[in-house]
Amino acid sequence: MNIESMEEAISYIGSGGCICFVGSGFSVDALDSNNKNLPTARDLSKELCLLSGVDDSGANLSDLAEYCQSDSLLAPQLKELLMERLTNSSEVVLFF
């Protein structure tokens, strides 16, 4: 990479016009708001099964989240669970 390209990349980064793509192992040591390791997709699926009362027989994470989100009683609990398990700050705002 030449100096001109490097300066252009730095400019994009500084302006917020850059997205960093990282591998799935990037957050392997990250902690949630309770200092627990972030859940894998499988772990999160199990937690959503417990939340929703759905049988944990390999349920699809996307379907579970959609099911919880569509239920007026489960939706706030889903938001709370995601905030607790996927962030380490109370400053984050989720929009659904």
pLDDT above 70 (res 91) = no
Residue 2: pLDDT band with limits 50, 70, 90: confident
Q: Is residue 21 part of a domain?
A: yes
pLDDT at 65 over 90: yes
Determine, yes or no, domain membership for 93. Answer: no
Residue 92 has pLDDT above 90, yes or no: no
Note whether residue 96 is domain-resident: no
- For 24-39, the pLDDT digits (tens) are 778 878 888 889 998 8
Task: Kindly state whether residue 91 falls inside one of the protein's structural domains.
Answer: no
Instruction: Please check whether residue 92 lies inside any domain of the structure.
Output: no
Number of separate domains in the chain: 1
31 domain-assigned: yes
78: nearest Cα among 54, 53, 51: 51
Distance, CA of 77 to CA of 15 (rounded, Å): 36
Residue 23 has what pLDDT?
77
Domain limits for position 11: 3-86
Query: 30 with 89: CB under 8 angstroms?
Result: no
User: Is the pTM for the entire model greater than 0.75?
Assistant: no
